[in-house]
């Protein structure tokens, strides 16, 4: 059981959860992930480590509501308990003193770059963080990364904050002005792919953190199979970090869309139940207010 200590909405449909898991937090390192189960019957959902408070034993995760279980997690009340938070899983990010290390986070991938930025700085790197979102109101972790990296560059698709364009617009500029020695990208697959295509001709080592469908998270089910340099690897045990220049992104995209119709059905059913609960609560409030009058 893991107690939810905090649940804050950072942006529309994006929540920061802090849960109490002291043993896990003691062992966890940047780049790893956990698998959560809300209850005995619940599905297992992988979530990246978005922060570690070792003193208080708190794990931070930033969760985007995209389907049934992520919606339930975003609705989790402070003080409630999650049945299982298993981890730390996967290999930590390999941190060395690379020189100028650049971490690129897009969308929900902004959260896991934060602990990586801290670890890189601790190892003596000069760090630049690049974050991007569609619009300013969808950005988060700006304060954390302003403090956690030596330089922060922000790009928004609509130009409402920072550079107008994608994270690759900012990275392209950086490659010209202050060439990175090492790049890591975490975010949607098309964004990670675009970053690797940008760094490839410059021969800049580029790590991506892959997020294929995971089921058991132990290397047994084969669900998270990815092809890297023509070899089959399992993202849950061999990754989630891989050399981005060797990843078969076409296969990754194809495998990720396999379960879309089932996921859509489960999400719609949960949204219906959430709507009914909200209506019931509103009716109760009206009745109570009427009785008090």
Ligand X SMILES: Cc1cc2nc3c(=O)[nH]c(=O)nc-3n(C[C@H](O)[C@H](O)[C@H](O)COP(=O)(O)OP(=O)(O)OC[C@H]3O[C@@H](n4cnc5c(N)ncnc54)[C@H](O)[C@@H]3O)c2cc1C
Residues that bind ligand X (CB under 6 A): 33, 45-48, 61-64, 66-70, 108, 111-112, 211, 213-214, 240, 256, 260, 263, 266-267
Measured from the CB of residue 86, what is the shortest distance to ligand FES in angstroms? Answer: 12
Q: Which of ligand X, ligand FES, none does residue 234 bind (CB under 5 to 8 Å by kind)?
A: ligand FES
Q: Which of ligand X, ligand FES, none does residue 108 bind (CB under 5 to 8 Å by kind)?
A: ligand X
Q: Which of ligand X, ligand FES, none does residue 221 bind (CB under 5 to 8 Å by kind)?
A: ligand FES
Q: How far is CA 290 from CA 67, 276, 281, 282, in A?
A: 36, 21, 14, 12
Distance CA 25, CA 56 (A): 9
- In the bound state with ligand X, the residue whose beta carbon lies nearer, of 162 and 239, is 239
Distance CA 193, CA 100 (A): 21
Q: Which of ligand FES, ligand X, none does residue 216 bind (CB under 5 to 8 Å by kind)?
A: ligand FES
Beta bridge partner(s), residue 6: 18
- In the bound state with ligand FES, the residue whose beta carbon lies nearer, of 147 and 253, is 253
Measured from the CB of residue 234, what is the shortest distance to ligand FES in angstroms? Answer: 4
Q: Which of ligand X, ligand FES, none does residue 88 bind (CB under 5 to 8 Å by kind)?
A: none
Measured from the CB of residue 144, what is the shortest distance to ligand FES in angstroms? Answer: 29
Measured from the CB of residue 118, what is the shortest distance to ligand X in angstroms? Answer: 16
Number of residues that bind ligand FES (CB under 6 A): 12
Distance CA 23, CA 223 (A): 27
Measured from the CB of residue 67, what is the shortest distance to ligand X in angstroms? Answer: 2
Instruction: Look at the chain and count its residues.
Output: 293
- In the bound state with ligand FES, the residue whose beta carbon lies nearer, of 10 and 237, is 237
- Which residue sits closest to ligand FES, CB atoms considered? 236
Asked if 140 interacts with ligand FES (CB under 6 A), we say no
- Which residue sits closest to ligand X, CB atoms considered? 67
Of 197-256, binders to ligand FES (CB under 6 A) are: 214-217, 219-224, 234, 236
Measured from the CB of residue 111, what is the shortest distance to ligand FES in angstroms? Answer: 21
The two structure tokens encoding residue 111? 């959260």
From the CB of residue 290, how many other CB atoms can be counted at a distance below 10 Å? 8
Q: Which of ligand FES, ligand X, none does residue 111 bind (CB under 5 to 8 Å by kind)?
A: ligand X
- In the bound state with ligand FES, the residue whose beta carbon lies nearer, of 145 and 226, is 226
Point out which residues bind ligand FES (CB under 6 A).
Answer: 214-217, 219-224, 234, 236
């Amino acid at each position: 059981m893991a107690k939810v200590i905090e649940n804050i909405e950072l942006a529309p449909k994006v929540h920061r959860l802090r849960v109490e898991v002291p043993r896990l937090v003691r062992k966890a390192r940047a780049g790893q992930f956990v698998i959560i189960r809300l209850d005995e019957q619940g599905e297992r959902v992988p979530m990246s480590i978005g922060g570690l408070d070792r003193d208080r034993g708190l794990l931070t995760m930033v969760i985007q509501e995209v389907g049934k279980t992520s919606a339930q997690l975003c609705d989790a009340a402070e003080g409630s308990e999650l049945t299982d938070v298993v981890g730390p899983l996967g290999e930590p990010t390999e941190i060395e003193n690379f020189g100028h290390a650049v971490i690129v986070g897009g969308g929900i991938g902004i959260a896991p770059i934060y602990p990586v930025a801290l670890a890189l700085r601790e190892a003596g790197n000069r760090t630049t963080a690049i974050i991007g979102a569609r619009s300013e109101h969808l950005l988060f972790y700006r304060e954390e990364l302003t403090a956690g990296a030596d330089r922060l560059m922000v790009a928004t698709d609509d130009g409402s904050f920072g550079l107008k364009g994608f994270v690759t617009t900012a990275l392209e500029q950086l490659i010209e002005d202050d060439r990175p020695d090492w790049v890591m990208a975490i975010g949607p697959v098309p964004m990670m792919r675009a970053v690797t295509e940008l760094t490839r001709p410059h021969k800049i080592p580029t790590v991506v953190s892959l997020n294929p469908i995971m089921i058991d998270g132990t290397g047994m089910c084969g669900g998270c199979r990815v092809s890297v340099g023509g070899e089959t690897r399992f993202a849950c045990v061999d990754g989630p970090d891989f050399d981005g220049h060797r990843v078969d992104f076409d296969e990754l995209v194809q495998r990720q869309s396999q379960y879309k119709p089932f996921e859509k059905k489960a999400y719609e059913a949960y949204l219906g139940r959430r709507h009914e609960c909200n209506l019931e609560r509103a009716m109760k409030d009206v009745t109570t207010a009427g009785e008090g009058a």
